[in-house]
A and B are shown apart, each in its own frame.
Chain A
Amino acid sequence: EAQVTQNPRYLITVTGKKLTVTCSQNMNHEYMSWYRQDPGLGLRQIYYSMNVEVTDKGDVPEGYKVSRKEKRNFPLILESPSPNQTSLYFCASSYEAGGLGEQFFGPGTRLTVL
């Protein structure tokens, strides 16, 4: 089954404790991105990747890191999480770069930073 998987689905952590949210897709997509979804603000892009070893900032990259060492995986790293990073996070992949292709979203990771 074609899908985007994320882990963990739910995470409660404390300020400053490094964490990684994994994302994997099995559709051989080159383009992957991370979004956060907040009430009243909608979906905002954090980082995106055009291909292996090619990443770039989205609208709200501060406090986040990403890496793309393999085509299928695109982990999101929070080196020192803060309460304002409490949010619902989505990983997405698509055949086409940017916004032209259909975005396939993962199920989401609900992160709470205390």
Chain B
Amino acid sequence: QKEVEQDPGPLSVPEGAIVSLNCTYSNSAFQYFMWYRQYSRKGPELLMYTYSSGNKEDGRFTAQVDKSSKYISLFIRDSQPSDSATYLCAMTSNFGNEKLTFGTGTRLTIIP
């Protein structure tokens, strides 16, 4: 079993829809959770960063962490064609130099 599971998609939704992207994980030591966005032929870039459980909102994006269920989500409201990209979840513990563990990514297409 992988430490981090992410539905690879692809996921296609019409413009303006609410998008929900999810990851599950098995390592209870993970405390820092991130979402990276990767456009085609580009490197990933950090989109959202959250610590422990709870919600964090940034414009149209909301990151949600449920540590009791080992489940994280990214919601995109009023989705735009420019949101079309691959979304990677990533997480780490706070133990020294522990590396980031990435999900496999979900490819999202917003249809105009």
Residues of A within 8 A of B (CB): 4, 33, 40-45, 48, 50, 58-59, 90, 92, 97-100, 102-108
Contact = CB atoms under 8 A, between A and B. Distances in A.
A92 B97 CA distance: 15
Contacts, number: 61
A102 B90 CA distance: 11
A106 B32 CA distance: 23
Nearest to B8: A40
Given A45-B99, A48-B99, A103 B44 contact: yes
Interface of B: 4, 6, 8, 32, 36, 41-46, 49, 88, 90-92, 94, 96-105
Contacts of A100: 32, 92, 94
Contact of B46 (A41, A58, A97, A103): A103
Most buried by B among A43, A48, A107: A43
Given A43-B88, A90-B43, A90-B44, A102 B99 contact: no
Contact of B88 (A40, A42, A102): A42
A44 B103 CA distance: 10
11 contacts: A42-B6, A42-B88, A50-B97, A90-B43, A97-B97, A98-B99, A98-B100, A99-B32, A100-B32, A103-B100, A104-B45
In this complex, the member of A59, A99, A107 whose beta carbon has the largest number of chain B beta carbons within 10 angstroms is A99
Nearest to A40: B104
Contacts of A105: 43-45
A42 B103 contact: yes
Contacts of B101: 99
A31 B4 CA distance: 23
Nearest to B30: A99
B7 to A, nearest CB: 12
